[in-house]
Chains A and B, each alone.
Chain A
Amino acid sequence: MNETLSWKEYLITRAIKVTGYSAIVFVVLIFFFLLREGLPTLAEVPLSTLFSIRWYPIEGYYGILPLLSGSLIVTLGAALIAIPFGIGTAIYIAEIAPRWMREILKPLVELLGGLPSVVLGFLGILVLSPFLRRLLDLPTGLTAFTGSLLLGGIAIPTVVSIAEDALDAVPRSYREAALALGATHWQTIWRVTLPAARSGVLTAVMLGVGRAIGETMTVMMVTGNAPVLATSPGALFSPVRTMTATIAAEMGEVAGGSVHYHVLFFIGLVLFLISLAVNVTASAIVFRTRTRAERILS
């Protein structure tokens, strides 16, 4: 082996190893910058103000509870739509649909995943919200419910693709055994395939919900942007404002380094920690079941 080649190879290998760690570096960097810009909030804004129910930054009211409740109620609504429809569609694609139907449905669901959220928000403003306003006889169509409907649509592709992978990964022999014992196709799906794929389906649900919490443009455009604390289920049909929408709507107008700026980064930090919790739990489920499966098979 000639000298220059091995030297070059050494450098390339080094460089590749360094890039391998880039994902960790970026997660740490993001966390660091959110802390750096967000933590001063705790010194500048008294906790009693921060956890109050009034968000009115111009007069120094930085209560984030209405924003938390706004995110929560919109996400909850989205989950109620995305979970049944996402899992239902995944079961249909993986277990019931004929082959040609699968080949049509999978790219279509991917296409929904590829639609920019701003396009859905745009249609939400022009089409969905006037329709809902007339249908439900509301003072405005820009409500948490409108946001939930669109957000459900945004979360569905995530739920479908992960749940479908999980169902696909269930060994054929499981289904054959169930059918051989005289179970119907439906009983096999319900009692054998779905339980066997449950960790993957759970991951799908978590990541779908995570996607919904973090969605920004659609909710900013269609939920009406009213920072009011949601106290009853009826709040679903009134305007709300989410954490993501608040950051997106207000960050453009604040001075760097001001209290308002720090509070918006603090909200970003809260969002980051929520997504961290969701994703670490989801990957823990995946890793745990994988090692359990490996133990059983070995």
Chain B
Amino acid sequence: MRKRIPLLRNRHLVQRLGFSLLTLMAALTVLPIIGVVLFIIKEGLPAISWEFLTAMPREGMRAGGILPAIVGTLYLTLGTAIFSVPLGVAAAIYLAEYAPENRLTRLIRIAIINLAGIPSVVYGLFGLGLFVLFLRFGTSILSASLTLSIMTLPVIISAAEEALRAVPQAFRTVSISLGATRWQTIRRIVLPQAMPGIITGIILGLERAAGETAPILFTGAAFFLPRLPHTPFDATMALPYHLFVISTQVPEMPFQIQYGTALVLIVFVLSMNLIATIIRSRARARRQW
């Protein structure tokens, strides 16, 4: 007679159960994401019209378009790029090409990890304290962009450093042996090779900045401003903050406008995500090393 194996001793059965459980967990994690995106597209699409994208809000934001919010988010994203890209890429070059392996470098790395972990609302407080009040930039695009830049910095530095480190050492050795200086080697050889990775990191960093609300709450966001900002010292409406305002602060807000705004925001953010993914996979396919 065959001896019965206790249920949980049967390791192949356990494996099958375990794998099913993990598959189920992965599905429960991923399916809601698809659901959320499809739901917003479905509910928001009817609101999208030429007027919605290009007109000023009217009737206490309950009608008209969201142009100032779209333009504001564009300005903030550009402003963030102006400050964070040069600084972030230069810092990454330092870490990847110059930094010695010592205590100080380790401290820099810990600082980067910490910057990445600081709550976004704390960045908002910092921006309020330093840029708005201490430096007297006021509630403005400038203050908000600077605040978002510092928040974006760790993302750009880590991604760019990784891209630079991925360039094989042989490239540098050959360049130096041909008589190029260290900077010429970095500028002409290493940077171009690492460029797709760096750009991907920049876009992912800016994507995060474009979708953030908490850091701009008290540094640059305007509740309602039915005109486009003229100078960097103007406050501005922004898509994420506008979505927050119309979904919590304005009574009797038509659902369609809320979903429409959410749709424009996620299209803005996810198209950046998509561009980054495409650049990365094309560069990976073309890479010869």
Interface residues of A (CB under 8 A from B): 1, 5-6, 9, 12-13, 15-17, 19-24, 26-27, 29-30, 33-34, 36-37, 84-86, 88-89, 91-93, 96-97, 105, 107-112, 114-123, 125-127, 153, 156, 160, 184-187, 189-190, 207, 210-211, 213-217, 221, 244, 247-248, 251-252, 256, 264-265, 268, 271-272, 275-276, 278-280, 282-283, 287
> Contacts A84-B25, A85-B28, A126-B255 known; A265 to B129 CB distance under 8 Å?
yes
Q: Which of B111-129 contact A (CB under 8 A)?
A: 111-126, 128-129
Q: Is B130 engaged at the interface, CB distance under 8 Å to the other chain?
A: yes
Contact A88 B22 (CB under 8 A): yes
Q: Which of B12, B109, B119, B150 contacts A215 (CB 8 A)?
A: B119
Contact A111 B270 (CB under 8 A): yes
Q: Which of A23, A85, A92, A268 contacts B122 (CB 8 A)?
A: A268
Nearest 7 CB-CB pairings of A with B: A214-B119, A116-B211, A20-B94, A88-B25, A186-B15, A19-B90, A92-B26
Q: Is B99 engaged at the interface, CB distance under 8 Å to the other chain?
A: yes
> Contacts A21-B108, A107-B277, A184-B11 known; A118 to B22 CB distance under 8 Å?
no
User: A167 vs B51: C-alpha distance in the bound complex, in angstroms?
Assistant: 50
Contact A26 B115 (CB under 8 A): yes
Number of residue pairs spanning A and B whose beta carbons lie under 8 angstroms apart: 260
User: A116 vs B265: C-alpha distance in the bound complex, in angstroms?
Assistant: 8
When distances are taken between beta carbons in the complex, the residues of chain A under 8 Å from B210 are 116
How many B residues have CB within 8 A of the partner chain? Answer: 89
When distances are taken between beta carbons in the complex, the residues of chain B under 8 Å from A85 are 25, 28-29
Interface residues of B (CB under 8 A from A): 11-12, 14-15, 18-19, 21-23, 25-26, 28-30, 32-34, 36-37, 39-40, 87, 90-91, 93-95, 98-99, 106-126, 128-130, 133-134, 150, 153-154, 157, 181-184, 204, 207-208, 210-214, 217-218, 240-241, 243-244, 247-248, 255, 258, 262, 265-266, 269-270, 272-273, 277
Contact A34 B33 (CB under 8 A): no
User: A1 vs B181: C-alpha distance in the bound complex, in angstroms?
Assistant: 9
Nearest-CB distance from A8 to chain B (Å)?
8
User: A85 vs B125: C-alpha distance in the bound complex, in angstroms?
Assistant: 33
> Contacts A20-B95, A34-B125 known; A184 to B117 CB distance under 8 Å?
no
Contact A9 B15 (CB under 8 A): no
Contact A23 B119 (CB under 8 A): no
User: A23 vs B28: C-alpha distance in the bound complex, in angstroms?
Assistant: 37
A-B pairs with beta carbons under 8 Å apart, 19 shown: A9-B181, A12-B183, A16-B98, A19-B87, A27-B114, A86-B29, A89-B26, A109-B29, A111-B270, A114-B272, A118-B211, A119-B36, A123-B262, A184-B12, A214-B122, A244-B214, A265-B129, A276-B117, A279-B117
Q: Add 15 more A-B contacts to A118-B243, A190-B18 (CB < 8 A).
A: A13-B98, A23-B112, A33-B129, A115-B211, A116-B212, A121-B244, A126-B255, A244-B214, A247-B125, A248-B217, A251-B124, A265-B125, A276-B117, A280-B110, A287-B106
Contact B119 A244 (CB under 8 A): yes
Most buried by B among A6, A20, A279: A20
When distances are taken between beta carbons in the complex, the residues of chain B under 8 Å from A37 are 125, 129
Residue of A nearest to B30 (CB): A108
Residue of A nearest to B133 (CB): A256
> Contacts A27-B114, A96-B19, A111-B270 known; A216 to B183 CB distance under 8 Å?
no
Nearest-CB distance from A212 to chain B (Å)?
10
Contact B211 A275 (CB under 8 A): no
Question: Per DSSP, are chain B's interface residues mostly helix, strand or loop, or mixed?
Answer: helix
When distances are taken between beta carbons in the complex, the residues of chain A under 8 Å from B265 are 116, 118-119
Contact B273 A23 (CB under 8 A): no
When distances are taken between beta carbons in the complex, the residues of chain B under 8 Å from A23 are 91, 108, 111-112, 115, 153-154, 157
User: A256 vs B218: C-alpha distance in the bound complex, in angstroms?
Assistant: 11
When distances are taken between beta carbons in the complex, the residues of chain A under 8 Å from B243 are 118-119, 122
Contact A268 B111 (CB under 8 A): no
User: A114 vs B39: C-alpha distance in the bound complex, in angstroms?
Assistant: 17
Contact A278 B117 (CB under 8 A): yes
Nearest-CB distance from A239 to chain B (Å)?
14
> Contacts A115-B211, A119-B262 known; A20 to B99 CB distance under 8 Å?
yes
> Contacts A33-B130, A114-B269 known; A24 to B213 CB distance under 8 Å?
no
Nearest-CB distance from A15 to chain B (Å)?
7
Q: Which of B130, B157, B244, B248 contacts A29 (CB 8 A)?
A: B130
Residue of B nearest to A30 (CB): B126
Nearest-CB distance from B147 to chain A (Å)?
10
Contact B255 A17 (CB under 8 A): no
Residue of B nearest to A33 (CB): B129
> Contacts A20-B94, A20-B98, A107-B277 known; A115 to B118 CB distance under 8 Å?
no
When distances are taken between beta carbons in the complex, the residues of chain A under 8 Å from B204 are 114
Contact B183 A283 (CB under 8 A): no
Contact A275 B118 (CB under 8 A): yes
> Contacts A92-B25, A280-B110 known; A114 to B211 CB distance under 8 Å?
yes
Contact A251 B30 (CB under 8 A): no
Most buried by B among A29, A92, A185: A92
Contact B114 A108 (CB under 8 A): no
